[in-house]
Amino acid sequence: MGTVLIVDDVEDLRYSLSNTVRRAGYSVSVAANGQEALEILRTSIVELIFLDIGLPDGNGINLIPKINELSPGVDIIMLSGRNDAKSAVQSLREGAVDYIVKPFDLIEFKSVLHRIMRSRLLGKQAQLADTCTSVDAIIGNCESMRKVKETIHMASEVESPVLITGETGTGKELVARAIHDACPGNKGVFVKVDCGTLSANLVESELFGHDRGAFTDALTDKKGLVEVASDGTLFLDEIGNLPIALQPKLLRLIEESIFRKVGGIKDIAVKVRIIAATNADIDREIDAGTFREDLYYRLNVIPLQLPPLRDRGDDVLLLADAFIRTLSRDLKKEIRGIAPSAVEAMLAYDWPGNIRELRNLIEREIIFCKSGWLNPSGLRPAPSCGGLQGEELVTLRENERRYIKQVLNYTNNNKSKAARILDISRTTLREKLD
């Protein structure tokens, strides 16, 4: 994927948006004004631009034709203040695809980011039908992971729904993609829907589409993601967050392979494989009445439970080695491996963020590694069955103070490096030190 470009003259906003984009897994560039933005477009491939309307060197809307000339096909989202919401609408006529009114929160920003990047990816997936996530990309040799791989093979031979459960970062999406790619009959694409980030009032039309005139803003017919995934896979992440009002509609789709668009009057038939995932305890949601029991049983035809990393034994080291190999190549650093003295701590640590945390740790360690051996510090062993001892319990504030001190020691008091590791701005770090 190419880069996301953020054009805004407010430094703090540039900083937090670019961090969010990076954390979402995309590369990012920033520009403080229109000239800088055009310069970046001349030299790199940009997929999506967040463009402020009130730039110091002119109105962002006037940049749109130049941007389209330099990067045809790029998607532009305008960032507008309350006072220039009218110009935001005008920018849509100029070719921007959407706008966000300031002040907005990062959840709203992320949801726009994912929506656009996902639909761009879908377009590409259609072109690159042969790029796939094979089961071989799933690293793990422990007993439970071997069972998981067997279930993936079995699931790829049938069309029944799969329900993947597991803590955050345990590889639920990776497994869903592997099932999709291993299905020989799959001609369609893999469409991921994050039920947790879709806005409640748009979720129905995002999923099922709408007919023209279904509501005030519905100026044209729109295909929903269910239809986009036709002959392929619809991956419903965080299924526990699917609004209860939509659950009967999903049930009908699974049972009868038909659905109706918002405002539509006829049923549409569609063949789509449903894979759902959750890291929450669905039983509790069923008890609370926010998740329908009949839908749960219908989704859970093939249950697939991913174990947390702390229960995968030596797989921790296997995964670490694999990440070292690929990331050291990408980061162009020569790394020999995990320092033998650190191996025990890695095996004893409880990895609350699971494989995602391990991957991020390895990446950070490679970046700051000087000796060629990775020696992660701060990996406290998992608490014993009895839980923490009273004397180990400190306040959150004290814990933060100790950790910041540890990181500063590690970076030889280099505050920029420390702020990067802590993933906060230098200003925030300075405030905390004060």
Which residue of 138, 182, 268, 280 would you call a contact of ligand ATP, by CB under 6 A? 138
Residue 310 within binding range of ligand ATP, rule CB under 6 A: no
Instruction: Show the binding pattern over residues 318-337: x = contacts ligand ATP (CB under 6 A), - = does not.
Output: -x------------------
Footprint (CB under 6 A) of ligand ATP, residues 356-395: 356, 359
Q: Report the nearest approach of ligand ATP to the CB of residue 391 (Å).
A: 34
Based on the shown chain and the rule CB under 6 A, indicate whether residue 173 belongs to the binding site for ligand ATP: yes
307 forms part of the interface with ligand ATP (CB under 6 A): no
The pair of structure tokens assigned to 245 is: 């009002």
Question: Least distance from C-beta 359 to ligand ATP, angstroms?
Answer: 5
Interaction between residue 166 and ligand ATP (CB under 6 A): yes
- Smallest separation, CB 221 to ligand ATP (Å): 31
Angle 51-53-59 from CA coordinates, rounded to 5°: 115
Close Cβ partners of 279 (under 8 Å, ≥ 6 residues apart): 165, 166, 167, 168, 170, 172, 238
Kindly tell me which of 272 and 355 has the beta carbon lying closer to ligand ATP.
355
Residue 208 burial (CB count, 10 A) = 24
**What length does the chain have?**
434
Based on DSSP, count helices (H) and strands (E) in the chain, helices before strands. Answer: 18, 16
Residue 135 and residue 149 in contact, taking contact as beta carbons nearer than 8 Å: yes
Q: How many residues bind ligand ATP (CB under 6 A)?
A: 17
Whose Cβ is closer to ligand ATP: residue 24's or residue 268's? 24
Residue with tokens 């463009």: 51
Question: How would you classify the pairing of strands 98-101 and 54-55?
Answer: unpaired
Q: Which stretch binds ligand ATP (CB under 6 A): 136-144, 151-159, 366-374, 404-412?
A: 136-144
Please tell me whether residue 110 binds ligand ATP under the rule CB under 6 A.
no
Among 34, 169, 188, 209, binds ligand ATP (CB under 6 A): 169
Residue 55, both tokens: 């730039």
Q: Per CB under 6 A, does 197 bind ligand ATP?
A: no
DSSP for 144-164, written as a single string? HHHHHHHHHHHHHTS---EEE
Helix boundaries (H) for 276-425 = 282-288, 293-299, 315-330, 340-348, 354-368, 396-410, 415-422
Q: Rule CB under 6 A: say whether 280 interacts with ligand ATP.
A: no
> Residue 193's beta-bridge partner residues?
236
Segment near ligand ATP (CB under 6 A); pick from 134-142, 182-190, 369-377, 409-417: 134-142
Residue 317: CB minimum distance to ligand ATP, A:
13
Determine if 174 is a binding residue for ligand ATP (CB under 6 A): yes
Distance CA 420, CA 414 (A): 10
Q: Coil, helix or strand for 207?
A: helix
114 binds ligand ATP (CB under 6 A): no
The CB-of-132 to ligand ATP minimum distance in angstroms stands at 14
Among 20, 156, 170, 186, binds ligand ATP (CB under 6 A): 170
171 scored as a contact of ligand ATP (CB under 6 A) = yes
We find the least distance from the C-beta atom of residue 106 to ligand ATP, in angstroms, to be 16
C-alpha span between 318 and 315 (Å, rounded): 5
User: What residues from 205 to 244 belong to the interface with ligand ATP (CB under 6 A)?
Assistant: 237
Q: Which residues of 161-182 are buried (b: 16+ CB within 10 A; e: fewer)?
A: bbbbbbbebbbbbbbbbbbbbb
Q: Which residues bind ligand ATP (CB under 6 A)?
A: 138-140, 166, 168-174, 237, 279, 319, 355-356, 359
